[in-house]
Amino acid sequence: MFDRLSSLIIALTLIAIAAILAALAPDQALALALLTLAGFAAAAILYLAVPAAPTEAHTAASAPSSSAPSLLRHPGFARWAGQEADPFIGTRGNVVTFANDAALELLGPHIAGADIRTAIRHPAAAEWLADAGKPGTPQEVSLVDFPRPGQRWTMRAAALPEDERIIILSDRSAIDAAERMRSDFVANASHELRTPLAAILGYVETLQDPDGDADPALRRRFLAIIEREARRMQQLVLDLLSISRIEADRFRRPTAPVDLAGVVGDTVAQLRETDDARAQDIVLTRPDDPMPILGDTAQLAQLAHNIITNAMKYGRAGTPIIVRLERTSGRVRLSISDEGDGIAPAHLPRLTERFYRADEARSRAVGGTGLGLAIVKHISERHQGQLDIASEVGRGSCVSVSFPPAQ
């Protein structure tokens, strides 16, 4: 059909033509008929050009919605939120209308359609949700011991139109654990340094006493204790610096080939040259050909030294310390075995923690810092090694590390 302007022009033209024909008509009846016919035709053209009144259904479909489109029901948002590792929950009012896979895994599938204040069962969450949007309400709330004791999550919300909002949950348990480890490390290091320092100061004060010169034998004994405690402090500081350097390098994989057999052989030779009688109990078994791996020579020597000296300290005197190098399952394996009192199974998972000691009194008696196996673990991880500690009470222990060979 024509638009309204074109229809009006056509109607007027038609009437004008009818008027001319009526003026030329021989009788009045014919003129009247022509004008009447032209009028009806013009009216019909104009009527057809006027748009029809919209029906109720059409109005509902075409009129703009009074409410903004929901982000929570947008397919793109659902795809994006489904890929997020953090739990995402969408609510309208207080009813859960959307939950991604992470939220369903954390809270359970029953939260769909539930009240958000019962879906997240935590007193702090219910109080925060009730006050959300009010002046002074914090941006996020901490959920301690949620969903299990010892864990901590945080919850924050983003407001949307039409009383909708997105609630985001974030796991902070690992961050808290790392902070506790840092605090424990500082406290343990301070304690380990304070103990020998207190002994040194105490004996120095005794020697400074005017009566301290009366007994030369006592003086020599005190000086020997001072030297021992000072060396203990020195070793602790060296171990702390060492573990700090190793952690700084943990993401840089070694790229230089190193003969592990040569490194272990040199370490054993150096130990045998010391005054420690246990060094003569070391029995080294290795192939004649080189055993190359990609590694850091100094760190691998430190790894071997720490494991072997542990066996020397905790193995029974006069029993062999077996140091074995072999190829097994496509890897290069270093193992050190001793015949000692062994370690109870409950202690094995924690032996590589900093300052952890299965036997506190004995460790201090033999002069351990509590960092030896922690250093071994970090060096092993940097070299893509697999550390294994096996022990049997009354029989002894075996510490082994296997490395991928250099290609």
What one-character DSSP code corresponds to residue 369? -
How far is C-alpha 27 from the chain's CA centre?
103
Q: For the stretch 11-48, what's the b/e string if a residue is b when 16 or more beta carbons lie within 10 angstroms of its beta carbon?
A: beebeeebeeebeeeeeeeebeebbeebeeebeebeee
As given in the structure block, the two tokens for residue 368 are 């351990």
Amino acid 58: pLDDT: 32
Residue 241 has pLDDT above 80, yes or no: yes
Amino acid 62: pLDDT: 33
Residue 6 has pLDDT above 80, yes or no: no
Residue 359 has pLDDT above 70, yes or no: no
As given in the structure block, the two tokens for residue 320 are 């062999």
Half-sphere exposure of 28 (CA within 13 A, CB side): 0
Residue 306 has pLDDT above 60, yes or no: yes
> Which residue type occupies 92?
R
Angstrom distance (rounded) from CA 324 to CA 276: 21
Higher pLDDT, 69 or 41: 41
Question: Tokens 């020697």 — which residue?
Answer: 207
Question: With contact defined as beta carbons under 8 Å apart, do 164 and 132 qualify?
Answer: no
Dump pLDDT digits (tens) for 219-232.
888 888 888 888 88
Dump pLDDT digits (tens) for 22-49.
666 677 777 677 677 767 776 777 666 6
Angstrom distance (rounded) from CA 151 to CA 206: 50
> Which residue type occupies 24?
L
For the ranges 2-11, 56-65, 340-349, the lowest mean pLDDT is seen at: 56-65
Q: Which residues contact 6 (CB under 8 A, 6 or more apart)?
A: 49
Q: Name the pLDDT band for 213 (thresholds 50, 70, 90).
A: low
Amino acid 131: pLDDT: 78
Amino acid 331: pLDDT: 93
As given in the structure block, the two tokens for residue 324 are 């074995």
Q: In the sheet that 95-99 helps form, which strands lie side by side, from edge to edge? A: 95-99, 88-92, 164-171, 152-160, 140-144
Residue 332 has pLDDT above 90, yes or no: yes
What is the maximal distance between C-alpha atoms in the chain? Answer: 163
Question: With contact defined as beta carbons under 8 Å apart, do 140 and 155 qualify?
Answer: yes
Q: What share of the chain is helix, strand, coil (3-state, %, to 5)?
A: 55, 20, 30
Amino acid 327: pLDDT: 92
Q: Kindly give the interhelix angle for 372-382 and 216-248, rounded to the nearest 10 degrees.
A: 20
Residue 61 has pLDDT above 50, yes or no: no
Residue 380 has pLDDT above 70, yes or no: yes
For the ranges 45-54, 59-68, 236-245, 272-281, the lowest mean pLDDT is seen at: 59-68
What one-character DSSP code corresponds to residue 163? T
Amino acid 381: pLDDT: 92
CA dihedral 169, 171, 175, 180 (to 10 degrees): 110
Dump pLDDT digits (tens) for 109-142.
888 888 888 888 888 888 888 777 677 778 888 8
Amino acid 267: pLDDT: 93
For the segment 374-391, the average pLDDT, to the nearest whole number, is 93
> Which residue type occupies 79?
R
Bond before 405 cis per omega within 30 degrees: no
How far is C-alpha 238 from the chain's CA centre?
30
Question: With contact defined as beta carbons under 8 Å apart, do 169 and 87 qualify?
Answer: yes
Left if phi > 0, otherwise alpha if psi is -120 to 50, otherwise beta: which for 330?
left
Half-sphere exposure of 283 (CA within 13 A, CB side): 8
Q: Name the pLDDT band for 300 (thresholds 50, 70, 90).
A: very high
Angstrom distance (rounded) from CA 178 to CA 38: 94
Higher pLDDT, 178 or 125: 125
How does the average pLDDT of the chain come out, rounded? 81
CA distances from 381 to 147, 345, 384 (A): 32, 23, 5
Angstrom distance (rounded) from CA 192 to CA 390: 27
For the segment 281-290, the average pLDDT, to the nearest whole number, is 90
Amino acid 303: pLDDT: 94
For the segment 340-355, the average pLDDT, to the nearest whole number, is 86
